[in-house]
């Protein structure tokens, strides 16, 4: 079986959901979400930030490890610690600072509208 098909099989829950950050080392921007597409596209956005379209790719030898490229530069490597239809949890290592962070996401299963921000 080709690596891409294998990765899709092992990562199926990743592609079924929009993922909202629920736990991070620092408070994430309000409504931070990530959407992973099987074609290697990653959408990152929040209620207070401009969206970013980045690229991600699974490790050919271990699909639960992946790399993300932002602004044409490697941004971080990650290892999925938990993935199911409710939770995505991974540890990422930032390329520039070498800092490791564990992030937890919950699958978005209902409508959500960003709240009005104070003016």
Ranges of each domain in the chain? 3-107
For residues 1 and 54, what is the distance between their CA atoms, to the nearest angstrom?
27
The CATH architecture that domain 3-107 belongs to is Beta Barrel (2.40)
* Per-residue pLDDT reduced to its tens digit, 49-72: 999 999 999 999 999 999 999 999
On the question of pLDDT at 6 being above 80, the answer is no
Burial call 48-83: b when 16+ CB within 10 Å, e when fewer: eeeeeebebebeeeebbebbbbbeeeebbbbebeeb
Q: What global pTM score does this model have?
A: 0.86
| pLDDT, averaged across the chain | 90
- Going by pLDDT thresholds of 50, 70 and 90, the confidence category of residue 23 is very high
Q: What is the pLDDT of residue 28?
A: 86
Radius of gyration over alpha carbons of the chain, in Å?
14
- The per-residue pLDDT for 115 is 83
Question: Residues 91-109: pLDDT tens digits?
Answer: 999 999 999 999 999 999 9
């Amino acid at each position: 079986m080709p690596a891409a098909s294998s990765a899709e099989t092992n990562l199926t829950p990743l592609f079924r959901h929009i993922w909202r950050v629920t736990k991070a080392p620092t408070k994430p921007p309000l409504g931070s979400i990530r959407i992973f597409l099987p074609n290697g596209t990653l959408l990152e956005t929040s209620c207070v930030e401009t969206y970013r379209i980045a690229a991600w790719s699974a490790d050919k030898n271990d699909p639960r490890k992946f790399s993300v490229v932002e602004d044409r530069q490697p941004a971080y490597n990650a290892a999925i610690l938990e993935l199911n239809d409710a939770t995505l949890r991974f540890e990422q290592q930032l390329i520039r600072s070498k800092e490791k962070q564990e992030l937890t996401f919950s699958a978005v299963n209902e409508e959500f509208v960003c709240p009005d921000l104070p003016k």
